[in-house]
């Protein structure tokens, strides 16, 4: 999968060019299917997840504890 660098002079991060949106994870998409999608995305080389805290009932901290290989999102600014 193609990669790109995001960030600024203080923080630079190399991520996949494709970003997987997680808006329906935990609501319309059940847990098993959500993890299957995440696994397939990671296996294809994906590293960029959109985990906006405004998305429905997705609980990133609880879910990411089951997949420790995913980087933890952080807040800046």
Please list the active-site residues.
55
Question: 7's torsion region: left (phi>0), alpha (psi -120 to 50) or beta?
Answer: left
């Amino acid at each position: 999968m193609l990669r790109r660098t995001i960030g600024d002079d203080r923080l630079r991060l190399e991520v996949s060019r494709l970003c997987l949106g997680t808006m329906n994870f935990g609501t319309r998409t059940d847990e098993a299917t959500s993890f299957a999608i995440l696994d397939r995305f990671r296996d294809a080389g994906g590293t960029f997840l959109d985990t906006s805290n405004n998305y429905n009932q997705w609980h990133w901290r609880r879910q990411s504890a089951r997949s420790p290989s995913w980087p933890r999102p952080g807040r800046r600014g």
